[in-house]
């Protein structure tokens, strides 16, 4: 029987992918006034952080396309992306986000309760010690960034018809 956490991850990811519907490449790169990131950055950041959370701390290989760390890691911004980095299209991000779920399920389903060698304490002060705890925390993280994407869509659609009303 599948662990409930994988169902929750799939549900949250489906919601993230739904947010991408109708977002143009141009809109994905606009930065709302007063902010420093874009919808494209939010999507790439969700991918990079879950990749790290799911695999890095238990010693499994990460699937990070070249330049993703420089573009989407904590503290980065499209305002300071190095020139040598290729910016992924929304289609490329969607493909990565969809494929990530199955890799996590396959790689972690038999290891959810194993203690990691080096526990990780989040910037909010929560210490994570097992893949189950890491993945559970990722639901919060992705939900937070989903809210930012919704906010950006509203701010960027001022004067246009928004899907949020």
Q: Confirm whether 165 is domain-assigned.
A: no
What integer pLDDT is reported at residue 164 of this predicted model?
46
What integer pLDDT is reported at residue 84 of this predicted model?
82
Q: Confirm whether 79 is domain-assigned.
A: yes
Signed CA dihedral, 61, 65, 69, 73: sign only? negative
Measure the CA–CA gap between 141 and 158, rounded to whole angstroms.
27
User: 116-141 pLDDT, tens per residue?
Assistant: 989 999 988 999 999 999 999 999 99
User: 55-111 pLDDT, tens per residue?
Assistant: 999 899 999 999 999 999 999 999 998 888 899 999 999 999 999 999 999 999 999
**What is the domain range of residue 25?**
4-156
Measure the CA–CA gap between 7 and 14, rounded to whole angstroms.
10
Query: Structurally, how many domains does the chain consist of?
Result: 1
CATH number at residue 13: 1.20.120.450
CA 44 to chain centre: 6
In the structure, what pLDDT confidence band is assigned to residue 157 with cuts at 50, 70 and 90?
A: confident
pLDDT(161) > 70: no
CA angle 97, 162, 7 (to 5 degrees): 30
Q: Confirm whether 151 is domain-assigned.
A: yes
What integer pLDDT is reported at residue 160 of this predicted model?
56
Q: Confirm whether 148 is domain-assigned.
A: yes
């Amino acid at each position: 029987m599948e662990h409930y956490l994988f169902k929750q991850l799939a549900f949250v990811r489906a919601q993230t992918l739904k947010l991408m519907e109708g977002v143009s490449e141009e809109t994905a790169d606009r930065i709302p006034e007063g902010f420093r990131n874009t919808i494209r950055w939010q999507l790439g950041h969700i991918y990079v952080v879950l990749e790290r959370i799911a695999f890095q701390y238990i010693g499994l290989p990460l699937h990070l396309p070249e330049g993703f760390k420089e573009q989407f890691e904590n503290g980065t911004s499209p305002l300071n992306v190095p020139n040598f980095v290729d910016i992924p299209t929304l289609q490329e991000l969607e493909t990565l986000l969809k494929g990530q779920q199955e890799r996590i399920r396959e790689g972690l389903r038999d290891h959810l309760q194993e203690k990691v060698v080096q526990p990780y304490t989040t910037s909010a002060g929560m210490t994570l010690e097992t893949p189950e705890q890491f993945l559970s925390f990722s639901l919060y993280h992705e939900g937070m960034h989903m809210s930012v994407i919704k906010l950006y869509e509203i701010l960027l659609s001022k004067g246009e018809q928004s899907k949020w009303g």
